[in-house]
Amino acid sequence: MAKFNLLEEPWIPVLQEGGVEEVGLREALLRPDLGPIETPSPLEEAALYRLLLAVLHRALEGPKDLDQALDWLEEGLPEDRLEAYLDRYHDRFYLFHEEAPFLQVADLPDKDPLPWTKLLPERASGNNPTLFDHSTDQDPPPLAYPEAARALLVHQAFTTGGLLRRLGVTSAKGGPLAGAAAFVAVGRTLRETLLLNLAPYEPQGDQALWERPPLRTADLEGYRTAWPLSGVARVYVWPARGVRLLDEGGGVRRMAYGPGVRPEEVAFRDPMVAYRQTQGRFLPLRLSVERSFWRDLGALLPGAGGSWPAVLEHAGALEREGGGLLPTRARLRVLGQVADQAKILDVRREVYPLPPALLTPGGLSDLDFALKRAEKAGEGLRGLAYRLARDVLGDKDPEELRRFARSLPLEPLYWHGLDLAFPSFLDRLDGGEARAFWKEALARAVREAWEATRLFVGTEGRHLKALAQGERALGGILKEVLA
C-alpha cells in the first residue's frame, strides 16, 4: 500500500515565525513566505536543498540564464508549471510503495536486514566508532517517517565507499558528496535560497530518478547498472545504494540493503562543489579536521586554476544584478563530513558572509592578499616556535624539538584568532576596507598568540632568555604583517 507521500506529508524542517515547522515538498516549493531549511544536521541540510533544486530544475527546465533567474526572483516562480510537474510524478514520491518507493528498490531482499542507523554517519552502526551516539545494531530505536525520509537522502548523497558484500558486489563507491564539501548560499527565505542556488541549467541529457522506471534488484546485482555521473538533477539525487525501508506500521527500525547504481566517471562538475586543480585533474575541495575551510580557498583563486561552485557564482551574480530584490545579504554555508576511508571523523557546517564583491576581480584580489599574508605569518610563527623549542631544550633530537614546538599555543591560537576575524574580513570586501582590517587582525592574532606562549613557556632563566630572543623574531613577523 502506498504510504507517506513526500509531496504532501510534513517532513522538511524550515524556519517559520521564530520556530521550526515541517512541511511537505510541494509546500516547500510553492509557499514564498517560508524560511530557509533549519536542521541540526549539516548533511541533512545539503541533501534536502539538493532534492528541492533537482525538482525545480526539472519542472521549470531552467533557468536558462541569469536574466530568467532574475525574472523568477522578481515575478515569482511559474507555479502552474511546477504544480503540473509535481502532479505528473506524484506517485513516485511515496516513501513506501509496492512498486516504486522513493529513492529505494521495492523488491530488494530483506534477508539480513540492517539497522536504520547505518543511514546516518553520525550514528553508531556496525564497526563505526560511536562518536555521536551509542545505539546498538541489536535494538535500534524506532525512526519516524519524516526522519527516515531525511536519513535516506543523507545516505544516498554522503555514504562512503568500501566493503559491501551483497548481491554479488564486494565493494561500492561512495555517494556524490562522500568526499566533497557542499556550498549553499542561504537567503532570507527558502524561496530566495532556492533561487540563489538555481544556477543556469541545461535540461538535455539530464534525467531525475523519479522520471526513470523504478530500479529493481536485478538492475543492481553485480553492480550491473551504471549511469554517467553527470546531469545536475541525476547527481543531486543519486541512488548510491539499494535501500528498502522496512515499515513497522508507525516507524522504521531496519532496512534491506544492497549496492546501488554504479557511477561512471565523466567530465562533470557538481554545481554545489568547489574544485582544486592538481596535476591537470580537478578534485573536489574537502573539509579538514585540522583547519577551517576558508584557509583552503586559495586553491580556487585565478592563479591556482581551481573552480568555484557554480551555485556560488550564480548567487553572487544574482545579488549584484538583483539590487533591491534581495533585501538582505546571503550567507554562505559550507557543509560536509570528514572521512578517513569509511570512518567518519567529523560532520561540519561552516557559515560565512557572502558579499556580492567576493567573486569579482577586486574581491578575489583582496582574498588572495588575505590568504597569502595569513599563510606567510603562519609560516613565520611555525619557525619561531621551533626556534623557541631549540632555545629552551638545547641541542635535542629534531623530532623532539618539533613535538615541543607543536605543543606551544603559538600557531593554534594564531589560526583561532583568524578564524574569528575572517567573516568580518569578508563583510568588508564591498567597502574597500578589507585589507586594512585584515592587517590589524593578523597583527592582533600574532600578538595574542605570543602572549599566551609567554605564559606557557615558564620563567626560569633559560626560558626568559629564549623568550627575549623570540621577541626579536616576533618583531620581524609583525613588520611583514603590517607592511
Question: For residues 306 and 277, what is the distance between their CA atoms, to the nearest angstrom?
Answer: 5
pLDDT of the residue at 237: 98
Handedness of CA 79, 183, 329, 11 (dihedral sign): positive
Question: For residues 8 and 25, what is the distance between their CA atoms, to the nearest angstrom?
Answer: 7
Alpha helices by DSSP H, listed for 257-397, are: 310-322, 361-393
Question: For residues 428 and 152, what is the distance between their CA atoms, to the nearest angstrom?
Answer: 40
Residue pair 376/357 in contact (Cβ under 8 Å)? The answer is: no
pLDDT of the residue at 144: 96
What single-letter amino acid sits at 347?
A: V
> 445 pLDDT exceeds 70?
yes
Question: For residues 349 and 46, what is the distance between their CA atoms, to the nearest angstrom?
Answer: 10
pLDDT of the residue at 210: 98
Q: Which domains does the chain have, with CATH numbers?
A: 3-264 (no CATH), 362-482 (1.10.132.100)
| DSSP helix, strand, coil percent of the chain (3-state; round to 5) | 45, 20, 35
> 55 pLDDT exceeds 80?
yes
Question: For residues 421 and 412, what is the distance between their CA atoms, to the nearest angstrom?
Answer: 14
Residue pair 39/30 in contact (Cβ under 8 Å)? The answer is: no
> Which secondary structure element, helix H or strand E, spans residue 21, and what is its range?
strand 19-23
> 33 pLDDT exceeds 70?
yes
**Average pLDDT of the chain?**
93
Cis omega (within 30 of 0) for bond into 140? no
CB atoms inside a 10 Å sphere around CB 161: 16
Using alpha carbons, select from 35, 13, 253, 52 the residue that is nearest to residue 148: 253
pLDDT of the residue at 375: 96
Here the cell at position 442 is 593578523
- Helices 66-75, 310-322: inter-axial angle, 10-degree rounding: 60
What single-letter amino acid sits at 268?
A: F
pLDDT band, residue 298 (cuts 50/70/90): very high
Percent of the chain with pLDDT over 90: 81
Residue pair 36/189 in contact (Cβ under 8 Å)? The answer is: yes
Cα Rg of the chain, angstroms: 25
pLDDT in tens, 381-440: 999 999 999 999 888 888 999 999 999 999 999 999 999 999 999 999 988 899 999 999
What are the C-alpha distances in Å from 95 to residues 12, 146, 253, 321? 14, 9, 15, 40
User: Which residues are registered as beta bridge partners of 35?
Assistant: none
pLDDT in tens, 106-155: 999 998 999 999 998 866 555 555 555 556 666 788 899 999 999 999 99
pLDDT band, residue 7 (cuts 50/70/90): very high
**Would you give the DSSP letter of residue 408?**
S
Question: For residues 433 and 418, what is the distance between their CA atoms, to the nearest angstrom?
Answer: 17
pLDDT of the residue at 137: 64
Query: pLDDT: is 395 or 316 the higher one?
Result: 316
> 482 pLDDT exceeds 90?
no
What single-letter amino acid sits at 168?
A: G
What are the C-alpha distances in Å from 371 to residues 281, 292, 296, 335? 23, 12, 9, 21
pLDDT in tens, 175-234: 999 999 999 999 999 999 999 999 999 999 999 999 999 999 999 999 999 999 999 999
CB atoms inside a 10 Å sphere around CB 289: 9
pLDDT of the residue at 279: 84
Residue pair 436/354 in contact (Cβ under 8 Å)? The answer is: no
Percent of the chain with pLDDT over 70: 96
> 481 pLDDT exceeds 90?
no
Here the cell at position 373 is 599574508
C-alpha neighbours within 13 Å on the C-beta side of residue 20: 7
Burial of 302 (0-12, 13-18, 19+ CB in 10 A): exposed
Question: For residues 195 and 176, what is the distance between their CA atoms, to the nearest angstrom?
Answer: 22
Here the cell at position 26 is 510541494
pLDDT in tens, 225-276: 999 999 999 999 999 999 999 999 989 999 999 999 999 989 899 999 999 9
> 57 pLDDT exceeds 90?
yes
Question: For residues 364 and 349, what is the distance between their CA atoms, to the nearest angstrom?
Answer: 23
Question: For residues 431 and 435, what is the distance between their CA atoms, to the nearest angstrom?
Answer: 10
What single-letter amino acid sits at 89?
A: Y
Question: For residues 290 and 415, what is the distance between their CA atoms, to the nearest angstrom?
Answer: 11
Task: Give first-to-last CA distance, the chain, whole Å.
Answer: 71
Residue pair 53/236 in contact (Cβ under 8 Å)? The answer is: yes
